[in-house]
């Protein structure tokens, strides 16, 4: 088990890695050539920037903590270890990046077996670094952050992510959007799940939900939300949100009401 001192040192070093890779991504965006975009699948885009960013992150984290394995989006290193694994999304919001929309981030988490113990989300355009270690609270640029105190859905702003290649649940999803449009302050779609989660932690939005996500989309942000006083579950209220491909994150106060409304539609 890592000592608190070792974990804190890893957190500081991980922030620096996220910021340095974020600077590389920011620089590449200035002269990015859309012709260099590749398709991993339908509407699933990747660029040399994603791949190079991940290579840099993996290389530096390997030096910091050699005994840890990796779960990565682009497959730079997919060798998992028994106890500790880094979970990395080098550029969360690739489609935004490609189109020049200024919300995309670097997301890095460290898991101890099945528990996230460290999380860093660096929003590149606003230079906002959100971070947390298990039991240590949540921060943005060295300032403690906390979820909002909105008392119910009616007083809440909700974020989500639209499905872009798996449309099996599209009718349920659209029904959920219709309901939430009429029962909340509104819906937002930022295009980076890691940023969505960071914004729940910051109190900018009260809730976030999405399905068909991967572990590297949500691992870091889910810890930051919880350390900021929020609650994170899967759609059923369980704990299978890292690998279960569905997540609900809220300020905790509205969580049960949100789940009930979501499942009223999702289970119909």
The whole-angstrom separation of Cα 58 and Cα 79 is 11
Q: Which residues contact 211 (CB under 8 A, 6 or more apart)?
A: 163, 169, 173, 235, 245, 246, 247
pLDDT in the model for residue 258: 96
Q: What share of the chain is helix, strand, coil (3-state, %, to 5)?
A: 40, 25, 35
Q: Are 228 and 202 contacting, i.e. CB atoms less than 8 angstroms apart?
A: yes
CA distances 247 to 189, 220, 258, Å, are 15, 13, 12
Angle between helices 255-266 and 170-183 (to 10 degrees): 140
* CA 197 to chain CA centroid, nearest Å: 6
Q: Show the tokens assigned to 40.
A: 């991993």
Binding-site residue numbers are: 73, 89, 91-92, 217
Per-residue confidence (pLDDT) for residue 43, from 0 to 100: 43
Say if CB 246 and CB 262 are below 8 A apart.
no
- Domain 4-144 and domain 153-266, same fold? Reply is no
| Token pair for 4 | 């608190």
User: What's the Cα-to-Cα distance from 220 to each of 15, 25, 139, 228, 255, rounded to whole Å?
Assistant: 12, 19, 13, 13, 20
Task: Note the CATH architecture for domain 153-266.
Answer: 3-Layer(aba) Sandwich (3.40)
Binding site for Mg(2+), residues?
73, 89, 91-92, 217
What gap in Å lies between CA 87 and CA 71, rounded to an integer? 5
Cα separation, 267 vs 108, whole angstroms = 33
- Render each residue's pLDDT in the chain as its tens digit; 268 residues: 888 999 999 999 999 999 999 999 999 888 877 766 776 554 455 678 889 999 999 999 999 999 999 999 888 888 899 999 999 999 999 989 988 999 999 999 999 999 999 999 999 999 999 999 999 999 999 999 999 999 999 999 999 998 766 678 888 889 999 999 999 999 999 999 999 999 999 999 999 999 999 999 999 999 999 999 999 999 999 999 999 999 999 999 999 999 999 999 887 6
Q: How far is CA 268 from the centre of its chain?
A: 28
- Domain limits, the chain: 4-144, 153-266
Strand order through the sheet with 84-92 = 69-72, 84-92, 105-112, 115-123, 128-133, 138-140, 143-144
Distances (CA, A) of 11 to 46, 110, 250, 252: 27, 9, 24, 25
Q: What are phi and psi of 152, to 5 degrees?
A: -160, 175
Query: CB–CB of 171/165 below 8 Å?
Result: no
Q: What is the pLDDT of residue 85?
A: 97
Assigned CATH class of 4-144? alpha beta
């Amino acid at each position: 088990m890592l000592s608190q001192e070792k974990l804190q040192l890893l957190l500081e070093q991980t922030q620096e890695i996220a910021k340095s890779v974020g600077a590389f991504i920011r620089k590449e965006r200035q002269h990015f050539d859309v012709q260099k975009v590749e398709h991993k699948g339908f509407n699933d885009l990747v660029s040399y920037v994603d791949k190079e960013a991940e290579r840099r992150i993996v290389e530096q984290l390997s030096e910091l903590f050699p005994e840890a394995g990796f779960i990565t989006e682009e497959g730079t290193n997919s060798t998992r270890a028994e106890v500790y694994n880094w979970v990395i999304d080098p550029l969360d919001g690739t489609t935004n990046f490609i189109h020049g929309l200024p919300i995309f981030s670097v997301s890095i988490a460290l898991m101890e077996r099945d528990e996230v113990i460290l999380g860093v989300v660096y929003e590149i355009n606003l230079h906002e670094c959100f971070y947390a270690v298990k039991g240590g609270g949540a921060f943005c640029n060295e300032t403690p952050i906390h979820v909002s105190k909105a008392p119910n859905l009616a007083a809440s702003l909700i974020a989500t992510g639209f499905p872009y290649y798996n449309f099996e649940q599209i009718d349920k999803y659209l029904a959920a959007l219709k309901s939430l449009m009429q029962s909340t302050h509104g819906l937002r779609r930022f295009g980076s799940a890691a940023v969505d989660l960071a914004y729940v932690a910051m109190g900018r939005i009260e809730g976030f939900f999405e399905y068909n996500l991967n572990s590297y989309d949500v691992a870091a942000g889910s810890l930051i939300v919880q350390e900021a006083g929020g609650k994170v579950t899967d759609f059923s209220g369980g704990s299978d949100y890292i690998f279960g491909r569905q997540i609900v994150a809220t300020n905790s106060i509205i969580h049960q009401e949100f789940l009930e409304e979501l499942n009223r539609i999702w289970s119909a």
